[in-house]
Amino acid sequence: MTRILFMGTPAFSVPILRMLKEEGYDIVAAVTQPDRPVGRKKVLTPPPVKKEAERLGIPVLQPERVRNPDELQQVLALAPDLIITAAFGQILPKELLEAPELGAINVHASLLPEYRGGAPIHQAVIDGKEETGVTIMYMAEALDAGDIISQVTVPISDEDDTGSLFEKLSDAGRELLKETLPAIINGTNERIPQDASLATFARNITREQERIDWTKPARSVFNHVRGLHPWPVAYTVLDGQNVKVWQVAETDRQETGKPGDIIEATDEAIFVQTGAGVIAVKELQLAGKKRLPAKDYANHPKFKAGGHFE
């Protein structure tokens, strides 16, 4: 039986690992990131793949850096015939990519060559795309540049945010891999080189990218906020303090204020001028406070008309 080494870390990877187990594949181990401190209390927390692998009775390895010689040797000693990665979170060294007889494949959450990199789902929503998808591909030394084996398209609706799209793409990736894997093992799959001239990149989101640019049109602000929901969450600055913006909605209002001006605060929302149009802030969070609906701030002195988000 084909010996499969699975490498993944977040919740996106879990349905894929579970499918492999349910389909009866021989999973020699699950390799995932080390436990990390989470939350204000810095509680050491295992990644979702570790918890699921342990539940399924699959051995777990957690290298700090899989490129470290000692940790690499531990992984190579498992002697897999095929490596399957899904949002593992570390770049694999050449020795590991070339070791399995059937190679190393990746479940990538975009329609490659679009959105190579670590944040393809966030970027697709931020860019206001109407569709994205999943690609099963052979891994190469260059970032997400390997040959394509199969793809499936997934629509993005206005109701989607990064969280909901994560779930849709994870499910799509599970089903696509389920369909494609027998051909990969039998050596009968397609292998389509990517057109590098069409490649775009979706690097990991930086802190500066999380900040709302109010000079952009209302539609762009709407896409930005839902593209960063439920993590890492968009923010703005009011009176020198950061304010997380959890939810916004588009409006038909047309005003003449400057971008970032608070037009009105009501029980419905806090209405803010953008570069083109007014957007309704529905849910927000002051520094050190709870996340609350905008109506709770309707009479707050910080959010009176005439205030300004920087």
pLDDT (average), residues 47-69: 96
Provide the pLDDT confidence category of residue 39 given band limits of 50, 70 and 90.
Answer: confident
pLDDT (average), residues 118-135: 97
- Does CATH place domain 207-308 in 3.90.1150.10? no
Cβ–Cβ contacts within 10 Å for residue 150, how many?
18
Distance in angstroms (rounded) separating the CA atoms of residues 150 and 27:
22
pLDDT (average), residues 55-67: 96
- In sign, the C-alpha dihedral spanning 119, 167, 96, 139 is negative
Q: Residue 193: is the preceding peptide bond cis (ω within 30°)? A: no
- Beta partners for 106? 85, 137
Binning the chain into helix, strand and coil, the percentages to the nearest 5 are 30, 30, 45
Scan for tokens 């007889």, then name that residue.
101
Question: What's residue 157's pLDDT?
Answer: 97
State the fold for domain 3-198: Rossmann fold (3.40.50)
Provide the pLDDT confidence category of residue 140 given band limits of 50, 70 and 90.
Answer: very high
CB 93 within 8 A of CB 139: no
Q: What's phi and psi for 156, nearest 5 deg?
A: -120, 120
Distance in angstroms (rounded) separating the CA atoms of residues 300 and 303:
6
Question: What's residue 298's pLDDT?
Answer: 83
Provide the pLDDT confidence category of residue 99 given band limits of 50, 70 and 90.
Answer: very high
40 has a pLDDT exceeding 80: no
pLDDT (average), residues 157-181: 97
pLDDT (average), residues 201-216: 96
Contacts of 266 (CB under 8 A, 6+ apart): 295, 298
Residue numbering of the annotated binding site for (6S)-5,6,7,8-tetrahydrofolate: 110-113
Contacts of 24 (CB under 8 A, 6+ apart): none
Distance in angstroms (rounded) separating the CA atoms of residues 184 and 103:
9
**The CA-based dihedral angle spanning residues 58, 59, 64, 68, taken in that order and rounded to the nearest 10 degrees:** -120
Average pLDDT over all residues of the chain: 95
Scan for tokens 């039986």, then name that residue.
1
The per-residue pLDDT for range 296-306, each reduced to its tens digit, is 988 888 888 88
Question: What's residue 299's pLDDT?
Answer: 84
Residue numbering of the annotated binding site: 110-113
Closest among 103, 111, 122, 117 to 160, alpha carbons compared: 122
Provide the pLDDT confidence category of residue 192 given band limits of 50, 70 and 90.
Answer: very high
Question: What's residue 113's pLDDT?
Answer: 98
Distance in angstroms (rounded) separating the CA atoms of residues 253 and 211:
23
- Beta partners for 6? 30, 84
The per-residue pLDDT for range 264-288, each reduced to its tens digit, is 999 999 999 999 999 999 999 998 8
Q: Residue 48: is the preceding peptide bond cis (ω within 30°)? A: no
Q: Helix, strand or coil for residue 42? A: coil
Question: What's residue 48's pLDDT?
Answer: 97
Question: What's residue 302's pLDDT?
Answer: 85
Q: Could you give the strand order of the β-sheet that contains 148-155, starting from the edge strand earlier in sequence?
A: 60-61, 26-31, 3-8, 82-86, 104-108, 131-138, 148-155
Question: What's residue 58's pLDDT?
Answer: 98
* SS3 track for 130-162: CEEEEEEEECCCCCCCCCEEEEEEEECCCCCCH
Q: By percentage, how much of the chain surpasses pLDDT 70?
A: 100
For the chain, the structural domain boundaries read 3-198, 207-308
